[in-house]
Amino acid sequence: IGNLFTNRRWKAHLKKSRGKSTMASGVTTTSNNSICPRIDFDPLITTTFALGWFWGPERTFRRVDGVVDVICVYIGGETINPTYQSIGDHTEGVTITFDEKKISFGELVEFFFSKANLTESCSRSKQYQTGIWWHNDEQKKIVNEKIRLLEEKNNWNIQIHRGPVTESGIYKAEE
């Protein structure tokens, strides 16, 4: 794949986003010519979800009005430059760039929970776990409140990963 910016879809996306604050203007990579470069995102307009694998959720989230782009990613591990054949300790997920004027983070979280298996233990294979990685404190607050309300309503603990995007970051998956 090479550098992230050699990807045709990203070139088109970045060309469209110039001068628009609601697009992925903060995208950078931290490695050159790696198979899966690490990606840094503008935290105000992105979120990262995992629903067991990335291909199905990628298609599902692309259909949501207000979603600008969906990227299959590896997240949550310490392995450098993971690949599908050597994912290491990462989880398959999707990072979603969205237009906050059309859909809020809270609405995306609602949509995520409508698709997620909330009773699945986090102890199964980390590669296919369900989870939410927040990109800022406001997202953390919304996620934790939604989980609290769901747990109260259903009288059981929600068994998904939840936490911040870590220093190890997010890596774009192969296409």
What are the helix (H) ranges across 66-104?
A: none
Confidence of residue 151 (pLDDT cuts 50, 70, 90): very high
The four Cα atoms 61, 72, 110, 77 give a dihedral, to 10 degrees, of: 180
Confidence of residue 95 (pLDDT cuts 50, 70, 90): very high
Q: Is the pLDDT of residue 45 over 70?
A: yes
Tell me the whole-structure pTM to 2 decimals.
0.71
Are the C-beta atoms of residues 30 and 5 closer than 8 Å to each other? no
pLDDT at site 110? 94
pLDDT-wise least confident of 6-20, 77-91, 124-138: 6-20
Rounded CA gap, 2 and 115, in Å? 33
Residue 63's region, left for phi above 0, alpha for psi from -120 to 50, else beta, is: alpha
Strands of 25-164 (E only): list them: 28-29, 38-40, 46-51, 67-75, 91-98, 130-134, 161-164
Give the model confidence (pLDDT) of 127-150 as tens digits.
888 899 999 999 999 999 999 999
